[in-house]
Structure 1
């Protein structure tokens, strides 16, 4: 017998699973570790009272972030290499352009890379990003601005007004 909660959790997974997995990969850099963490996120989601969630997307991204950093802290042998799926950040089909974007993203500090992911791919507002990362909204917007400026510099794009 399928319960309402099972249907709800499956719906959340269908809607947000790929997004959350990409976010976790952005943090931990390994697809296999990211899949394990994703499973932990949905186990936690299963265990909570779903009526207490006011914003499912923000809640699950916050949980994914917390689980990812818990995983990093627990694994002393964690690799510092971070892989970034550049397809989530660029609509270009040019493979060389994608490689350039990926390399540029890898040069950003983790906190800026995470903001770029949440703003561009997850399409969160700065307020929701601030809530998810537990930082002031001005910090979220300035990290985004600095990240975009650094990406422009790294990619050789200038803003000629």
Structure 2
């Protein structure tokens, strides 16, 4: 097991494909925080993010077991692309799902407040991370997405451009304007991190 912890992602993938389940466990533990955080920021719902996170690894396992993985040493960007695509699929599905509204056109689930935050969530939240998330939520979707993929998933601008179907210059521009907008929001609302 100790030898596996020193292995590259590609070596772990190969080891898992040869039947070593410990290799997959190491891969998951190595990248779970980045993948989960990115999903969570995109969907803005911890429980939905947990479901999507599980779906990501189910898809990864299926692909690896069927020997269809061919990313050649780019496991994390590949996994992030799967996560991003599952988030997009979720939003497309939600868009097609009719909502139940009250007489004043509010979503019924907002009115009845089905999910309440638990004490563990309040303890886990770090104030500065919470403030950053709130600021990120105020950004346009394209800018927020690039910032999340760059800072939380550590993807290159080339990988972000491929994932979001835009040019590298567009991704760089979205990042620049996103950061400028975050600074502007912090100044206007007098938010200190």
Under TM normalisation by the shorter chain, which class is it?
A: 0.7 to 0.9
> Which of 182, 190, 193 matches 1:151?
182
Q: TM-score, normalising length from structure 2?
A: 0.65
Alignment of 1:71 onto 2:83: no
The aligned residue for residue 47 of structure 2 is: 32
Inter-partner Cα distance in structure 1 for 2:133 and 2:69 = 39
> 1:62 touches 1:133 (CA, 8 Å); kept in 2?
no
Aligned residues: 140
* 2:60 alignment partner, SS class: helix
Gaps of 5+ in 1: 82-92
Inter-partner Cα distance in structure 2 for 1:12 and 1:67 = 19
Q: RMSD in angstroms over aligned alpha carbons?
A: 2.3
Deviates more, 1:114-123 or 1:36-45: 114-123
The aligned residue for residue 62 of structure 1 is: 81
By relative contact order (CA 8 Å, sep 6+), the higher-ranking structure is: 1
> Which of 163, 172, 179 matches 1:141?
172
Mapping for residues 12-161 of structure 1, pairs under 5 Å: 12-48=27-63, 49=67, 51-54=69-72, 55-75=74-94, 76=97, 77=99, 95=127, 98-156=129-187
> 2:41 touches 2:133 (CA, 8 Å); kept in 1?
no
